[in-house]
Structure 1
Amino acid sequence: MTVNKTYLTIPQVSLNGQCMQNAPVAFLQSVDVQCITDLDAYQVQDRIFNMKIKNDALRGTVTPKVIYEDTFNLDKFITNTETILSIGSASRNVTVEEHYIFRWDNNTISEINVRIIRAEVNTNQKGILTQRFTVKFLSHNSGNEKESSGNPGYQLGKPVRALDTNRMDNITTLRLWQPAGRGLCTSASFRPILFGENALSGCLLEVGIDENCTQLRENTLEQLDSLVQATHVAMRGNSDYNDLSDDWLEIIRAEAPDSSADPAVDTANGTCLDVPAQLLIRILISDAGAVEGITQQEILGVETRFSSVNWQFQCGLTCEEKVNLFPVSAAVQFIKIPVQLPPPLTRFQMNFTEYDCNRNEVCWPRLLYPLTRYYQGEPYSQRVAQGLLLLSFFILAVLLSNPWARVGKA
């Protein structure tokens, strides 16, 4: 909340997939969204740049530190472009990305850093603008690259932490594509894989009818490999980056297809077999106890596996000198493993199934279930009265039976 008693807002995606331009930013809730706007309808939003944000209940304030950057790669953000030239046409700046970093300490905001990326366009230019907005909350004493994803277990929605022992700068993360514009892989950005969230992403490669199959396999494999530039993942949300023995798990990689092995049938133009097109990342997770009543989750293992498709150039009546779009995709699947397997059946349960309430309509072990507190079909007092009435009928029947009649005659 600002000092003017208004909420800090940024565009966010609603449940129906539409972008809400003035959605409040929730405390400790990270955001990473993309919104599409027509350049004709674009308006500059004065969100945080000249505002003062409250940091606690004692009327303290924090002034955001704003950094502006310029980009000249318009194809990454603007599609369906069309420029209507006119005499004296000027240019204007449009915001393509906004990144907010909030540092917090003891439920108060201590620092706000904002990075604004702008692009210069012609005032008469038309097209579709793709904007990206991110919000990240970091503890006051942590760096951007070493922010933990839980303590000790992973928190849902936090990035999966990873290491690449083959590099000097070994801190990394598992990633997915975040396409923009035409959805090409060359212009796609990346977003981290978040713990506990299954996801699917993809991008497009431009291929021609005379495409070399070996080169195509190498390109697709390179694009898929770029998502997992890591050798180990953290078992816990706070595993030490500087200590590989601190619960770091090696990523299990299924054998990647050999891009140099060119099948003999790849002789016809516009046809390639066994092209790597999909990457499946499976992450096994499990509960690992609780801290102060909060369940802690950890990663048990990570496996990557490729799958291939046969590609054929698509054209109409005549195959002209044009390009096709070849889709590559990646999927993340979190599989939860139970802490304990269900106990095996005993020999009595296997042999005497008439006593198994799950296999029979009549369940003798639960004969008195209606008289227990777990039964909610009727009031308890009514059930007790009915039970006593049945018991009285049973006693009366016993007294009037033949054995008691014989005792009376004797």
Structure 2
Amino acid sequence: MAKVAVSILFFYMVCWAGISTHVFQPSSIIATGPKITSLLLGNLTEVSLNLLYVFASNVTGSIGPPSCEPEETQWIVTKELVGTNALRVHLRLNKSLHFCGENETDCCSKSLCVLESLRVSACVNNVVKTSLLIQAKIHAHLRLPYHGPDNQTVIPNQVYDPLGSCPCDLTTGMCDIRCCCDKDCSSELLKLFESHCFPGPFGGQLSSLPDYHCSAHREDAPEWFRFLCVISPPENNPYLGHFYHGDTIIPKPRPSFQKPILSPPVFNTYKQGNPIFTLEDQLFTIPQMAIGHCLNNAPVAFLENFSFQCVTVLDSCPNSFPLQTLHSDLSIHVNDGKGGDVTVVVMDEVVKDLSHFLSSTAFGPDRDHVCESVTLALDYTFHWKGNIITNITLRRSIGKLIFKGSVEITTRYSAVFVTRENMEEANSGNPGYQVGKPVIAGIENTQHNFSVQRTSINLWKPVLNGLCHIAEKRPVMFAENSTSGCQLFVSLQNLTQCDLLRDTVGSLQETLVTATYVAKTGNPNSEIESDWVQIQFENSSNALGDGDGSCSGIPSHTHIQIWSFIAGMTEGNGQRMIQDIQVRSTLSTWTLDCGGGDVCADLTEAQLFHVTSSVTFIDIPIFTGPPKNRFRINFTEYDCDKNDVCWPQLAFPLTKYYTGEPHSHALAMGLTLVFLLMAASVLSTPWRQIRQAWDISL
């Protein structure tokens, strides 16, 4: 079955890759070790493999075309059939990788032992179908000479010598304290601890034979002892198996304390969650938050989005990564997952307003610090298709930082994986919404019959001091209730212009929901009206009664209500859809607190007022049938889930409550049992007497 599964797997791999004849996977390999493995996919009939060296032309710099002519190399090629359309090709270096000694030839004379380019050609009828390019760059193995003794340490076999002759003899050639059976201990040393020897079997003191053992040779044994004694070989004792079986230990060379040369990880394509590698087989890293701390070099996982903020206290201008970055250091060559590379394209954005990045400033007697080109944010966008990275763009935000004393700076790092040019086209489910994915909204385009431009509905995301003029917005996530807000400074002079204040707060709240439609499913079509539901806007009524230092009808709270339901099941998973959405503004009255006085005297005195937003998801229950009447709700005598005694269970196994076997089998066996009981009762003694009496009467 395993071979059949492998064959089917590689058949689908061939079909998926669109292979018509032959192809190597991967098509090029950079080898750092003496063993190389690749897969040849396609029609394997009459396929032969040829290995030869390749060299770059001094004129054009390119290598020659592949050839089917064999060439003698220092590599051994073997092949293994792993399916009807797959062949595993193995290459092994036929050369020793240790440094040359005296009068040695098959060895390495320098550290870089092998540096050559090879080509494996798959030929059919002396025609090249495909080829595999190999760049071998192999270093010699460092190995220190071992000058220790070559004698072997033989451990007794515990099958015949239980626990060994002296288990406490742990050190070879030295006397172990309190081990009186250690032959390395002289008589003078034994006198120091002979009264404190290890007791029992661990100290080599096996218990004597019991009196009932035949080999005990008791002098006072009676004449019948030989008939009743126990015969048992000395190997059968309770101490067998306490140690491993004895074996011969051959001394090995001492380990080298050089840094080992690790072979790079081998992979063909990326999978979700796998780390991304650079072209030099190093982990591709971005600063991230881990276990409450910011790590400057954290690996990036394929198709795993993230967004983190790191707070750093600066007493002077930064001069190292990640607050100081060079364009050349960020333009990294990344492995695209198919043997090629993708270069990170860096785009700089100069930030003039640093209020979003500065948390607090502590002024001191120190001089002013002027820091040029400080890296404030690194936002990566990975474009992918299938299991391959097609493009990587980096938006680096830099700014000029001026502070005195010390300052807290908040830097931001993010990575987003997208499959389209426009990030807003990312779906939130297929077809139903996934919990935690953004709710898809849209703005109607009046130029066409029906078309919407994707956007999102948002909530407030306070940052730094929580003021509304620097607050950010975050999208509403499906099935996640949330409440957030920001603060707005309002003075007495503002409260004398209530209409302007209402318009200002209303404009702030309107920026949260600019859409007119919300998608019913997680993958809507922008041109199909049935995939969208219109947003209902509603304002709460409140009589306007403006007074001194007071304004009513302020739309200070925006509440979003979304009704969702499970429309069906796909592979056992419920598909959640949005049925309706309502956005309601709650009006309130803002009044300054004058500290006990009736009238505030200072017109410039300002206080903080809250501007809030919230979202609530309401689940619509699935309709399971007509509603139950009062009798069915209250009468639970025959309900096995609500009573200790279940009368229907008395008819085991004829009723549905018996789940040990299928109901049809249980019913057949039950009826057979009833038939046998009736036959037994008919053929029993009372019925036979009745039949005899009946026959006599006739």
Instruction: State the TM-score, normalized to the length of structure 1.
Output: 0.76
* CA separation of 1:353 and 1:84: change in aligned 2, threshold 3 A: closer
Residue in 2 that maps onto 1:383: none
- Between stretches 271-280 and 94-103, larger displacement belongs to 271-280
1:77 and 1:180 in contact (8 A); partners too: no
What's the CA shift for 1:228? 0.5
Q: Distance in 2 between matches of 1:293 and 1:54?
A: 37
* Pair 1:52 & 2:333 matched: yes
Alignment partner of 1:226 out of 494, 502, 511 = 511
Q: 2:502 aligns with which of 217, 221, 237?
A: 217
| Aligned-CA RMSD value | 3.7
Counterpart contact for 1:10–1:25, Cα < 8 Å: no
Q: Is the 8 A contact 2:384 2:417 kept in 1?
A: yes
Give the Å deviation of 1:89.
4.8
Q: Give the aligned partner of residue 143 of structure 1.
A: 422
Equivalent position amino acid for 1:304 in 2: V
Q: Select 2:468's aligned residue among 185, 194, 197.
A: 185
1:297 match: 576
Match of 1:314 in 2: 593
* 1:78-117 matches, cutoff 5 A: 78-82=358-362, 89-117=369-397
Q: How far 1:231 sits from its partner (Å)?
A: 0.7
Cross-structure match for 1:339: 622
Report the CA distance between 1:166 and its aligned residue.
Answer: 6.9
Shift of 1:245: 1.5
Q: Distance in 2 between matches of 1:317 and 1:365?
A: 74
- Is the strand fraction higher in 1 or 2? 1
Q: Is the 8 A contact 1:76 1:180 kept in 2?
A: yes
Check the 8 A contact 1:162/1:234 in 2, yes or no.
yes
Instruction: State the shift of 1:248 in Å.
Output: 1.1
CA deviations on 1:152-199 (whole Å, 9 max, x unpaired) are 333333322222227779432111223333222112222222233333
Partner residue, 1:5: 282
Residues 40-79 of structure 1 mapped to structure 2, 5 A cutoff: 40=315, 44-45=321-322, 49-56=330-337, 58-79=338-359
- The answer (yes or no) to whether the contact 1:197–1:334 under 8 Å persists in 2 is yes
2:286–2:413 CA contact under 8 A, matched in 1? no
Q: Distance in 1 between matches of 2:593 and 2:634?
A: 62
Q: Distance in 2 between matches of 1:71 and 1:167?
A: 36
Greater relative contact order structure (CA < 8 Å, 6+ sep): 1
Code of the aligned partner of 2:277: T
Q: Is the 8 A contact 2:361 2:403 kept in 1?
A: no
Q: Distance in 2 between the 1:341 and 1:21 partners?
A: 54
Amino acid in the other structure paired with 2:538: A
Q: Secondary structure at the match of 1:355?
A: coil
Give 1:138 shift. Answer: 0.9
**Structure-2 change in CA distance of 1:20 and 1:289 (3 Å):** farther
Amino acid at match of 1:52: H
Structure 2 letter corresponding to 1:253? F
Q: Distance in 2 between matches of 1:180 and 1:364?
A: 64
Q: Hey, what does 1:207 align to over in structure 2?
A: 490
Instruction: State the alpha-carbon separation in 2 of the partners of residues 9 and 249 from structure 1.
Output: 40
User: Greater shift after overlay, 354-363 or 69-78?
Assistant: 354-363
The DSSP-based 3-state class of the residue aligned with 2:304 is coil
**Code of the aligned partner of 1:248:** W
Is contact 1:83-1:122 (8 Å) kept? no
1:284-322 deviation line (CA, Å, top 9, x unaligned): 222333445554332211111222333332355786543
What is the DSSP-based 3-state SS (H/G/I as helix, E as strand, rest coil) of the residue aligned with 2:429? Answer: coil
Residues 332, 12 of structure 1: alpha-carbon distance in 2 compared, 3 angstrom cutoff:
farther
CA contact under 8 A between 1:257 and 1:306: conserved in structure 2? no
2:523 corresponds to: 238
Q: Which amino acid aligns with 2:544?
A: D
Q: Is the 8 A contact 2:368 2:404 kept in 1?
A: no
Name the stretch that deviates more: 198-207 or 84-93. Answer: 84-93
1:262 aligns with 2:547: no
Deviates more, 1:361-370 or 1:72-81: 361-370
Paired with 1:221 and 1:155, the residues of 2 have a C-alpha distance of 32
**Count, aligned residues:** 370
Candidates 528, 531, 535, aligned match of 1:247: 531
Deviation at 1:203, TM superposition (A): 1.2
Q: 1:359 to 1:171 in 2, by over 3 A?
A: closer
Letter in 2 for 1:98: L
Are the equivalent residues in 1 in contact too, given 2:368–2:403 (CA < 8 A)? no
Q: Cα–Cα, structure 1 residues 88 and 371, in superposed 2: closer, same or farther, change >3 Å? A: closer
Cα 1:285/1:228, change in 2 over 3 Å: same
Question: Are positions 1:327 and 2:327 aligned together?
Answer: no
TM-score (norm 2): 0.47
- Provide closer, same or farther for how the CA distance between residues 284 and 359 of structure 1 changes in structure 2, counting only shifts above 3 A: same
The change in CA–CA distance for 1:282 and 1:30 in structure 2 (over 3 A counts) is farther
Q: d(CA) in 2 for partners of 1:166 and 1:85? A: 58
Does the aligned pair in 1 maintain the 2:334–2:342 contact within 8 Å?
A: yes
Cα displacement (A) at 1:126: 2.8
Instruction: Describe the SS at the equivalent of 1:214.
Output: helix
Query: Counterparts of 1:146 and 1:10 in 2: how far apart (Å)?
Result: 27
Report the 3-state secondary structure (helix = DSSP H, G, I; strand = E; otherwise coil) of the residue aligned with 2:503: helix
Q: Which runs of 5+ in 2 are unaligned?
A: 1-275, 662-676, 678-685, 690-698
For residue 215 of structure 1, give the secondary structure of its aligned residue in structure 2. Answer: helix
Say which is worse superposed, 119-128 or 34-43, in terms of deviation.
Answer: 34-43
Tell me how far apart the structure 2 counterparts of residues 79 and 262 of structure 1 sit (CA, whole Å): 39
Q: Distance in 2 between matches of 1:89 and 1:19?
A: 24
Are residue 30 (structure 1) and residue 313 (structure 2) matched? no
